Every structure is written in C-alpha cells, then in structure tokens.
C-alpha cells in the first residue's frame, strides 16, 4: 500500500495530435493514432510518504526541481483530488490518508531522455499508473488514459497496447485512447534517426498553444478524421503502401502548420530533410519505409520488419544522423509491482 511501480513505452503518432481545444484539460483539436515503441521503456515508482513536506522527483537517478518537478506535482494533485473524490463517495479507508500526502517519484528511461524520443508520453503514462495504484485507486484503462492525458496529451496513447487511437471526445470524460489492434497484429518497426540539435526546440505544450495562429491549422484539422480513417484501415488490412502515403502526408501537414505559426516553429535540420528525401527514394525503389517527424529534428522511419535492417544500415551513413535506434510495436502500460 502507498507504493507502486509501473512501466510504459513511448509512442509514435502515425496521425498527429497538434493543437488543443482546451489547453488545460489537453482536449485535442483532432483525433490521432499511434503505435507504442517496444524496447524503449520508462519505469516509474511512486510512494506516498507521510514524512514528506513536498513532492520529490528523481529522474534518471537525479533529483529534479523547477518546471519539470512542478509539472509532476500538478499532475499528482489530480491523483490526490481523485483520491478525495473516492473518499467522499465511498468512504474508502484505503485512500483516506493519501489525499493529504506528498509523493516520492523515481522515474528512469532505458533510452536517452531529451533526445526527442517522446519520453513525456511514456513518463506520464507510467506515472499515471504507478501513482493511481500507489494511492489505492483502481482505474480502468479508459480512466487511466484520461488521467495520463492531463500530464501530456500523447501520454493517453501510451496506456493501451499496440496500435492506439485517441478519439478526441467532447470533454474530459470522453477524451481517451483505446487500442485498435494489439502489438502482434502487424510487426512494423520504427527505425529512429537521431539528429543533432543545436538549439533547444520549443516544447510541444507551447507548440499546441500557437497551432491556431497558422492559417493552415483549420484545413489540417478539417481533414484529420479522413486521414485517420485511411490509416486505421491500412493498419487493419496490413497495407503498407496505403499506410506510407497517409503517414507522410499527415506529418507534413503538421509541419506545414508549425512553420506557418506565429512564432514560427521550424523543427527540421538539414539532416532531417536529407533523411526524408532518401526514404522517399528508397520507397520508390521498393523498400517498405516511410517517414514521420514529431516536434524535433529526429526522423522516425516506419517500415516492415523485413525492411528494418536495411533501413538502419542506410540511415547510419546519411550525413548528420548521429545514432539509429530500432523499435518494434509495444504493449500497454503495466504495473510491475504494487501492494
């Protein structure tokens, strides 16, 4: 009781989430679709401790203060608030104490944080599960996904397993993600080309806030549901050529919004564009691979399992590519120990 450990994978969006209808509740402007990234794992332990005077956050073995710690504390406030709701409604003795307690949070990634590998998605998914279990809350998958969404929108997609859709919903209750196919439905790979960043990019929370300043955002949002339907059916039919076209188009539409926002968000580096050109050419020559890019310079090359070794080999020699990481399709967030 009061302590639990959970694990979650980051996810890569195949149909992107960009812009919120409600910035505080992180209710998205459009639905999105992703796959979890097997092999990349965030492991988080939460312990509510009567001896603490404030929340403590340890990331990768080091205590963190400032904005990162405040964001986690604000997130834990949601868990504490849920705990007191349960106490009020069912008078649960299990959870009665926790609404007043601070927590010790220890989180580590088995991959480099801050390299643009979506650690906020796996981080808040693992935190939602570990904190709610430590607090004695027994949340179902949809409730957990909603909770994770409050920490980082895309984190709601790291709660269910495999291929995951976040139907945007209308309000806090209806905005959560669900799995459309398990991880073993289709053995795709995400071969990530990590590219050097000279300047710290604008984070996605700030990015969502300026999405509506782009005149292209309305057109992107208006057509997102159609692209999502195409991507969903390509996944269900394991149709790689159909998936490749819509995944590249959707990523380019998001970046079209980013580079026409005010302020301008230009995440691409020269090597980002070099990889995009290379992969398009490889696909024309018969390699089953396509690109998608998040709010950073790295390029995620989505490909079939048999194409992955060749894709990784070729990416390693593209100038400006610093490292190549291959991941498969991952399962859901899960507890590895709890009371």
Q: For residue 315, what is the DSSP state?
A: H
Smallest separation, CB 124 to ligand PMV (Å): 8
Residues 122-161 close enough to bind ligand PMV by CB under 6 A: 152-154
Residues 281-300 close enough to bind ligand PMV by CB under 6 A: 294-295
* 120, 122, 261, 292: which one binds ligand PMV (CB under 6 A): 120
Q: Which C-beta is closer to ligand PMV: that of 13 or that of 194?
A: 13
CA–CA distance, 294 with 301 (Å, rounded to integer): 12
Closest C-alpha to 231, from 218, 244, 221:
244
Q: Which residues pair with 42 in a beta bridge?
A: 8, 109
Question: Is residue 194 within 8 Å of residue 116, measured between CB atoms?
Answer: yes
Residues 59-118 close enough to bind ligand PMV by CB under 6 A: none
* 7, 32, 175, 292: which one binds ligand PMV (CB under 6 A): 32
Token couple for 332: 């859901």
Smallest separation, CB 253 to ligand PMV (Å): 12
Instruction: Quickly list H helices, the chain.
Output: 67-90, 93-96, 119-134, 141-151, 204-210, 217-236, 240-259, 270-284, 308-316
CA–CA distance, 326 with 192 (Å, rounded to integer): 6
Smallest separation, CB 112 to ligand PMV (Å): 17
Total binding residues for ligand PMV by CB under 6 A?
15
CA–CA distance, 150 with 258 (Å, rounded to integer): 23
Smallest separation, CB 197 to ligand PMV (Å): 15
Q: Which C-beta is closer to ligand PMV: that of 12 or that of 287?
A: 12
Residues 195-214 close enough to bind ligand PMV by CB under 6 A: 204-205, 208
Q: Which residues bind ligand PMV (CB under 6 A)?
A: 13, 16-18, 32, 120-121, 152-154, 204-205, 208, 294-295
């Amino acid at each position: 009781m009061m302590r639990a450990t959970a694990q979650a994978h980051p996810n890569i969006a195949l149909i992107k989430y960009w812009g919120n209808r409600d910035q505080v509740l992180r209710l998205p402007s459009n639905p999105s679709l992703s796959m979890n990234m097997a092999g990349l794992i965030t492991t988080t332990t939460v312990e509510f401790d009567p001896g603490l005077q404030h929340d403590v956050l340890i990331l990768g073995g080091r205590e963190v203060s400032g904005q990162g710690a405040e964001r986690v504390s604000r997130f834990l406030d949601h868990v504490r608030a849920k705990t007191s709701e349960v106490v009020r409604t069912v008078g649960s003795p299990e959870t009665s104490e926790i609404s007043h307690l601070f927590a010790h949070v220890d989180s580590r990634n088995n991959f480099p944080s801050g390299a643009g590998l979506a650690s906020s998605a796996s981080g808040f998914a693992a935190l939602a599960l570990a904190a709610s279990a430590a607090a004695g809350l027994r949340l179902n998958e949809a409730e957990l996904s909603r909770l994770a969404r409050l920490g980082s929108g895309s984190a709601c997609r790291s709660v269910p397993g495999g291929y995951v859709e976040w139907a945007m919903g209308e309000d806090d209750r209806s905005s959560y993600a669900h799995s459309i196919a398990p991880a073993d439905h289709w053995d795709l790979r995400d071969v990530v080309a990590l590219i050097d960043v000279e300047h710290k990019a604008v984070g996605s929370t700030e990015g969502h806030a300026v999405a509506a300043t782009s005149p292209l955002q309305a057109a992107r949002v208006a057509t997102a549901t159609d692209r999502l339907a195409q991507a969903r059916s390509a996944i269900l039919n394991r149709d790689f050529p159909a998936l490749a076209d819509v995944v590249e188009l959707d990523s380019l539409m998001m970046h079209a919004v980013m580079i026409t926002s005010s302020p301008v968000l230009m995440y691409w580096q020269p090597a980002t564009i070099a990889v995009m050109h290379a992969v398009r050419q490889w696909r024309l020559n018969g390699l089953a691979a396509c690109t998608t890019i998040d709010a950073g310079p790295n390029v995620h090359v989505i490909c079939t399992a048999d194409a992955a070794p060749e894709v990784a080999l070729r990416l390693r020699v593209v100038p400006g590519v610093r490292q190549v990481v291959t991941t498969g399709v991952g399962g859901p967030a899960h507890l590895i120990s709890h009371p």
